[in-house]
Amino acid sequence: MSLSRRKLLGASGLSALALGCNRDRAAPAAAPEFTGQSPERGHLLRSAALLDAPIDARLRTGVVIVGGGAAGFSAAWRLQKLGFNDFTMLELEAEIGGTARSGALPRSAHPMGAHYLPAPPRECSELLELLTDLGLLVGYEHDGTPEYRSTAICAAPEERHFHAGTWHPGLYPGDGETPEQAQQWERFWERLRELDRARDANGELLFRLPVRRSAAGLRGLDRISIAQWLDAQGFDSWRLRWYVDYACRDDYGCTLDQTSAFAALHHFLARGLEDTREEPLLTWPGGNGELLASMRARLELGERLKTDHIVYAIDPERGQLRVRDLAAERTIMIEAQAILWAAPRFVLRHVLPRDRDPLATNAMTYAPWLVANLELREAPGGVGAELAWDNVPVIQDPAARNLGYVLATHQEGRDRAIEAGAVITYYQPLVAHDPAGLAKHRAHLLASDAGVLSEQVLGALEHMHPGIRRHLGAIHIHRWGHAMIRPTPGHLFGGSLDVARAPIGCVRACASDVGGLPLFEEAFYAAIEGADWALDRIGRA
């Protein structure tokens, strides 16, 4: 959820319809269950039995893409655009998607992770080309403004926030603010407008996508936190700081103290300030998993896409991968001229020979996330602003903050009558100040049973919607142990990402984490740069 990509104020109005109606129709909810990514599969890399398994089959291919998420499919798209089809994609899970995976309940499809894509700025020509190929970008207006498929544009109202027992339009908690708080809010946006207008000596933007294309002028802000930057600017309003903290948790799984000031400002500025651009948010009931499904259909990968395959050893000099087909229970040796690692970068060291990875073990940290999908027999209501796509509680206690929920069924009013009930997706990043704290959160997340985690989710939702349990039809729990790369101070331009992206023999990492920010755009550009590198390596550029 990227709040700078949406309108600060949505359509206002009152909705007195609260959960708690039609109690006689309520039926017992299904037992909570885990769905989606399997932590147990990832942990198979620790199994010595894999290394001892005999080879059952051998394959040769020009390029192997490891990972079937946004980066993997972007790499495959780029290879095909350049006329190269001698590649194989390997995905650990039975389903594609990675952190953009979709799921479904009887009522509706829903996201399990990433759930929208801001329409890219015009300078992102390659990404615009992809959206054109997928039929999402359908043309251009006379002034060059892109036109997008109407059903993919997020319908109004886009967001609302819950504060002091009432729902309000937009995300900034302005109701009841003091004159000083209002002045700080205006001054904050004026400062952002100054940065948006600024250019370096060569006329280059200071904040760009991907982040490594940003001009050098303000890269020093990466060395401090956004909390320190706010302090230096005299911004101490709790409302403003909550708003910026929400942006950091939402995009990066970090708090104000944990987020690089450059990364936080990049969130607001890289696509242009909201009040100076008109490009929409693109979203789907199933989130970005539907975007990847469209890519899969267009690419027509067939046998080149192999799910249920775990890569457990790579020889980067010989271009050999040892792979276990978990469905067929056989071991395959694949030989390739180039290997694109489109999976999380921290996993790579576990499949390379010992001491072959030059990246320090603590150079990159990842935020764990708890995500839940709930099917409700009644759509959430509440006093105040009407139900929106994004519904966020304003919680002043940093230790208790969650991101609220997204309405998976929000787009239904576009093309058919809205059915009863709703499917919502709850998001909660598990934040911590150091790797030890993150490890503790991760261990608790993966060790807890579905009942414990569902109670945590329902407790948070009852703060916004008392009685929500009465309307619960089903709840699915999704656990992301390493959901997002964390852009802590010094991460973006401190040198570790250069090491993370550098080829190791015939292997190059190209997921979003080596771009530095957990964004679709970072995954896309890291992947197409990786694909270009692979073709250079094998002489097919």
Helical residues (DSSP H) of 433-519, grouped into ranges: 435-447, 450-464, 496-501, 512-515
- Give pLDDT, residue 37: 87
Q: Which two tokens stand for residue 161?
A: 């926030």
pTM for the model stands at 0.93
Predicted confidence at residue 248, as pLDDT, reads 98
pLDDT of the residue at 332: 97
At residue 5, φ and ψ (nearest 5 deg) are -95, 0
Contacts of 233 (CB under 8 A, 6+ apart): 187, 188, 191
Q: pLDDT digits over 43-74, tens only?
A: 888 777 787 889 999 999 999 999 999 999 99
- CA-based torsion, 408, 5, 186, 396: positive or negative: positive
Q: Which amino acid is at 200?
A: D
Q: What angle do CA 259, 261, 266 make, to 5 degrees?
A: 100
pLDDT tens digits, one per residue of 290-343: 999 999 999 999 999 999 999 999 999 999 999 999 999 999 999 999 999 999
- 45-104+286-364+489-537 placed in CATH 3.50.50.60: yes
Residue 414, classed as helix, strand or coil, is helix
Question: What SS3 class is residue 119?
Answer: coil
3-25+155-279+365-485 has which fold? Polyamine Oxidase; Chain A, domain 2 (3.90.660)
What residue spans define the domains of the chain? Answer: 3-25+155-279+365-485, 45-104+286-364+489-537
pLDDT confidence of residue 541 = 45
Q: Quote the DSSP letter at residue 480.
A: E
Rounded (5°) CA angle 70-516-197: 105
Q: How many CA atoms lie within 13 A of 118 on its CB side?
A: 27
| Residues of the chain scoring pLDDT < 70 | 1-29, 275-277, 414-419, 540-541
Measured CA to CA, the distance from residue 127 to residue 131 in angstroms comes to 6
User: How big is the CA angle at 67 (ends 63 and 71), to the nearest 5 degrees?
Assistant: 85
Name the DSSP letter for residue 383: S
DSSP-assigned states of every residue in 37-94: S-HHHHGGGG-HHHHHPPP-EEEEEEEEEE--SHHHHHHHHHHHHTT---EEEE-SSS
Q: How many angstroms separate the CA atoms of 434 and 415, rounded?
A: 47
pLDDT of residue 47: 75
pLDDT at 414: 53
Short-list 88, 85, 47, 82, CA closest to 68: 88
Q: Please tell me the distance from the alpha carbon of residue 338 to that of residue 198, in angstroms, as a whole number.
A: 40
- Count CB-CB contacts under 10 A for residue 55: 11
Q: Nearest 5°: phi and psi at 312? A: -120, -5
Task: State residue 3's pLDDT score.
Answer: 34
Give the per-residue pLDDT at 41.
85
CA dist 41 and 65 (Å) reads 18
What is the pLDDT at residue 1?
38
The pLDDT assigned to 277 comes to 64
Unique residue bearing structure tokens 């390659």: 126
